[in-house]
Amino acid sequence: MANAFAEITFTPSVKAAQSLYGSRQANQGFELSEDARNKLAEREIEFIAERDSFYQATVSESGWPYVQHRGGPAGFLKVLDERTIGFADFRGNKQYLSVGNLNANDCISLILMDYPNRRRLKIWGRARIVHENEEPELIAQLEVPSYRARVERGIVIQVEAYDWNCPQHITPRYSEAEIDHLIAPLVEENRVLKSTGAFDLKTLGNGPLELVITGMRQLTSRIRSFELRNPNGNELPAFEAGAHLVVPVRLADGAISTRHYSICSDPARKDIYEIAVLLDENGTGGSLSVHGQFTLGLGLRCSLPQNNFKLHDHDSPAILIAGGIGITPIKAMAHALQSQQRDFQIHYAVRNNREAAYLEQLRQAFGDGDKLSVYPSENGSRLNPGALLASSPSTTVFYVCGPARLIDVVTSAAQSQAIDPDRIRLERFAAGAAESDRPVEVELRRSNKIIQVAAKQSVLDAVREAGIDALYDCRAGNCGACAVKVLEGIPEHRDSVLTKAERERAGLMCICVSRAQSERLVLDL
Query: What is the structure's pLDDT at 190?
Result: 73
Domain range 38-164, CATH class: mainly beta
Average pLDDT over residues 183-206: 72
CATH superfamily of 176-302: Translation factors (2.40.30.10)
* Residue 496 CB contacts under 8 Å (≥ 6 apart), including other chains: 407, 425, 426, 427, 428, 476, 477, 478
Instruction: Look at 196 and 298; give whichever has higher pLDDT.
Output: 298
* Residue 418 CB contacts under 8 Å (≥ 6 apart), including other chains: none
Per-domain residue ranges of the chain: 38-164, 176-302, 318-428, 440-523
Q: By 3-state DSSP, what share of the chain in percent is helix, strand and coil, each rounded to 5?
A: 25, 30, 45
Helix H or strand E encompassing 441: strand 440-444
CATH 3.30.70.920 fits 440-523, yes or no: no
Query: What is the structure's pLDDT at 433?
Result: 57
Lowest-confidence segment of 70-74, 200-204, 342-346 by average pLDDT: 200-204
Confidence of residue 193 (pLDDT cuts 50, 70, 90): low
> Rounded mean pLDDT of the chain?
89
Average pLDDT over residues 302-322: 94
Residue range 337-390, pLDDT digits in tens: 999 999 999 999 999 988 899 999 999 888 766 799 999 988 888 999 999 999
Q: In what order do the strands lie in the sheet with 299-302?
A: 203-204, 299-302, 209-218, 223-229, 273-278
CATH of 318-428, one of 1.10.10.10, 3.40.50.80, 3.30.70.100, 2.40.128.110: 3.40.50.80
